[in-house]
């Protein structure tokens, strides 16, 4: 079988990325090769500076080019609410929603004993040190076993603080269909029903 080494190496690197199989990696590599060299050069440039340009915010743990990050240093944001998230990527997703105007705290994972992730591995102490003047903690954790476990743990840990602890509503997604909803989600939708 005849192959082209430089292409093979690129395809093999692309297929390590999440959601990209061997076929997609091939399609992408040939697309870049067929395209003008500037796309490859721009990608190369951004990738080569990525880890130098971006660090973790020392306050919230999010990815940032400045420290503290633009959210933590923005005096217009509501400092009495902290939204607790699993990973730095969640911050981007919530920011895109333009609904939340408080601060963030990145846990860096969820409690998962089977995978060896205990509360000590998460950024929980740092969160507890940020609670001065905070009125509400919103747990924006995924409605999964790990998310539920972590939410329960944080709730217990903070139960003696004079802080309201809330969690994002779980239920039917907008545009969803009762026919296709799973039983657990349906059950949560009933338990979390709201007066209209």
Please give the residue ranges that form the binding site for a copy of itself (CB under 8 A). 1-7, 9-10, 13-14, 16-20, 24, 26-28, 30-34, 37, 39-51, 53-54, 63-65, 69-71, 74, 87-89, 91-93, 95-96, 98
DSSP assignment letter at 100: -
CB of 54 to a copy of itself, least distance (A): 5
CB of 68 to a copy of itself, least distance (A): 12
**Residue 63 Cβ vs a copy of itself, minimum distance, rounded to whole Å:** 5
Query: How many angstroms from the chain centroid is the CA of residue 139?
Result: 12
Burial 169-187 (b: 16+ CB within 10 A, else e): ebbeeeeeeeeebeeebee
In whole angstroms, the minimum distance from the beta carbon of 70 to a copy of itself comes to: 5
At closest approach, how far in Å is the CB of 4 from a copy of itself? 5
- Output 50 or 178, the one with its CB closest to a copy of itself: 50
Is the torsion defined by CA of 42, 47, 51, 52 positive or negative?
Answer: negative
**Which residue lies nearer to a copy of itself by CB, 56 or 188?**
56
Whether the Cβ atoms of residue 95 and residue 72 lie closer than 8 Å to each other: no
Q: Which is nearer to a copy of itself, 22 or 156 (CB)?
A: 22
Residue 68: is the preceding peptide bond cis (ω within 30°)?
Answer: yes
Give the residue with the Cβ less far from a copy of itself, 27 or 188: 27
In the complex, the smallest distance separating the C-beta of residue 33 from a copy of itself, rounded to whole angstroms, is 6
For a copy of itself, give the closer residue by CB, 130 or 188.
130
Which CB, 12 or 155, lies closer to a copy of itself? 12
Burial class (CB in 10 A: 0-12, 13-18, 19+), 31: exposed
Quote the DSSP letter at residue 4: -
> 140 and 83 in contact (C-beta within 8 Å)?
yes
Q: Which of 86, 82, 81 is nearest to 106 (CA)?
A: 86
């Amino acid at each position: 079988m005849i192959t082209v080494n430089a292409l093979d190496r690129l395809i093999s690197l692309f297929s390590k990325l999440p959601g990209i199989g061997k076929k997609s990696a091939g399609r992408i590599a040939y697309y870049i090769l067929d395209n003008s060299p500037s796309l490859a050069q721009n990608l190369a440039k951004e990738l080569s500076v990525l880890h130098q340009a971006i660090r973790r915010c020392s306050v919230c743990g999010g990815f940032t080019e400045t420290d503290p990050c633009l959210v933590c240093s923005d005096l217009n944001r509501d400092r009495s609410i902290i939204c607790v998230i699993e990973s730095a990527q969640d911050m981007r997703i919530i920011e895109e929603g333009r609904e939340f105007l408080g601060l963030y705290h990145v846990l860096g994972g969820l409690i998962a004993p089977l995978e060896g992730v205990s509360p000590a591995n998460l950024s929980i102490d740092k969160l507890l040190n940020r609670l001065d003047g905070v009125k509400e903690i919103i747990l924006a954790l995924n409605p999964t076993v790990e998310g539920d476990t972590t939410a329960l743990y944080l709730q217990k840990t903070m139960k003696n603080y004079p802080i309201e602890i809330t969690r994002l509503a779980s239920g039917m997604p907008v545009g969803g269909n009762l026919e296709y909803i799973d039983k657990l989600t349906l059950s949560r939708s009933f338990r979390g029903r709201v007066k209209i």
